[in-house]
Structures are given as C-alpha cells and as structure tokens.
Structure 1
Amino acid sequence: MQYGMIEIDGKPFYVPLEAVGRTADFLDKYAQRTESGDLERELIGVYTNYQLQFLPITNRAEYARLWDKLTEPVEFHDVVVPGENGAYGFRAYFSGVSDQLLLQRAERTYWSDLKVKFTAKSPARV
C-alpha cells in the first residue's frame, strides 16, 4: 500500500493512493478552420488537471473527513498533490467525486474505490 499526502485548503490528508493521473488540457479562446482547411486558433493556456483514486481507507473518521472536504459546497479549493518535483499546488474545483459501498455491518458502513477529479481554475502554462 502506497501512502501519499494530499493537502486541501491547508489541511493534510495522509491517505493510501492507488493511482494519480494527470492531464495537460489545452484550452482555446477560438479554433476554426479556414476555407482552405488551415486551422486558426488562439490558445489561452495549458491546464494541468488531476484525477486521484484511493485505496480503501480503513480509518472511518479520516475517510469521513476527506469525503466532507471533497464534497464541500464551495467554488474552489487550494490543493497540493504529487507533482513533477515533489509537490504541485494549484487552485481547482472538484468534479466527479465517487465511491462504492464496500461493507455494512450493524451500524458501521465502509466505503472504497474513492475517486476525485481536480480541475484547474487557471492555466499552469501560457
């Protein structure tokens, strides 16, 4: 099990990570083909977005704390995730938070397969 540290709004979460994926998404102000077939475009910038998948978190209190933070109804969060040279911090919104029921016994419920996508607010490169 590989533990990683992520930070959300200055609060660290030491959680088992199964996968950390990132994408470099190019956003255009406009992109259109001319009559000759040539492409004209104006690039706004390159946005670095992350998708994290967690291994089962056995500490129910920590899981609840992370779930509450990931589903908090605010527009943007400051996040720190594993990056090219250690840690990478950026401002993002969360989308696609999901998990699966693993086990329910008496009054205890355990969840697994937690996933979240962090979408950057601003370009990482212009």
Structure 2
Amino acid sequence: MIIIDGVKFDIPIVSLKRTAEFLDKYAKRTEDGNLQRKLIGVYFNYQLKLARSTAVEKKVYQKLWDKLTEPVEFHIVTVPDESGNYTFTAYFANVGDEMLTQQGSENYWKNLTVNFTAKAPARRPS
C-alpha cells in the first residue's frame, strides 16, 4: 500500500526500487587531480510498479492513475521502508501502464509504473 497526499491506495506492489542519489553543489578537479566537492545531500528516489487492475480494484486503480497524473508540482508520498514507512515530498515522472485486456466496455490495465523524485535531501552532511 502507498499513500499519496493522505489518500491510501490499496493496490498490491509488484516492485519498489529505491536509489540514493548524491547531489553536489559543485564537484571539480584541481590541477593536481584532487576532487573538490560540496555535497548538498542524499536524495531517496523510488520507482514503483503495481499489480494489474481487476474488476474489484478498477475504481481504486483509476483513482490512483488520476492522482499520479494530476498537474501539480509536488505530492506528499508514503512508501514502505525497512523501518515501516518513509514519507517525503516528491514529484512524479514517467507514469505509464499498458492495457491488459478489454472485456466488453471495460478496460483493464497492468504494469503501472511511476518514479517518485525527492524534492529535498533525505540526509544532509553534518
């Protein structure tokens, strides 16, 4: 389960990948080959892949699609982590899915993926 802007979405998670990206204010080599670097912080970014939609979950899936494609700059996201949950502010990128099947006038989807890119560092240098 994930939570976006306080709304719980109970669609099974197929995969949740986490990366820790180190962002520098500057990183520059001096003439003697040493690296001079000013680290801003470490950003935790996530890539989420969800299970396919079913007749039971169809409305939840559509509600999630609408939230993921909402034209706002940032969202508050809660995802699972090793100590329970991790909540952060992020923007969404690369939202996509593919049609699984069409039954009458109903369309079912699979492989919903989204990237959550952190707005601020999760960890800062001391």
TM class by smaller structure: over 0.9
Q: Which residue of 1 aligns with 2:95?
A: 97
- Given candidates 18, 21, 25, the residue that maps to 1:25 is 21
In structure 1, the partner of 2:43 is 47
Deviation at 1:74, TM superposition (A): 0.3
Q: CA deviation at 1:104?
A: 1.4
TM-score, length-scaled by structure 2:
0.94
5+ residue gaps, structure 2: none
- Matched with 2:2 is 6
**How far did residue 105 of structure 1 move?**
2.4
Note the alpha carbon deviations across 1:52-98, whole angstroms, 9 max, x for none.
Answer: 11111212111100000000000000010001200100000001111
Identity in percent: 57
Q: Which runs of 5+ in 1 are unaligned?
A: none
Q: Which has the higher strand share?
A: 1
Q: Aligned partners of 1:124, 1:62: CA distance in 2, in Å?
A: 29
Partner of 1:116: 114
Aligned-pair RMSD on alpha carbons?
A: 0.8
Figure out how many residues of one structure are paired with residues of the other and give that number.
122
Say if 2:30 is the partner of 1:34.
yes
Query: Secondary structure of 2:59's partner?
Result: helix
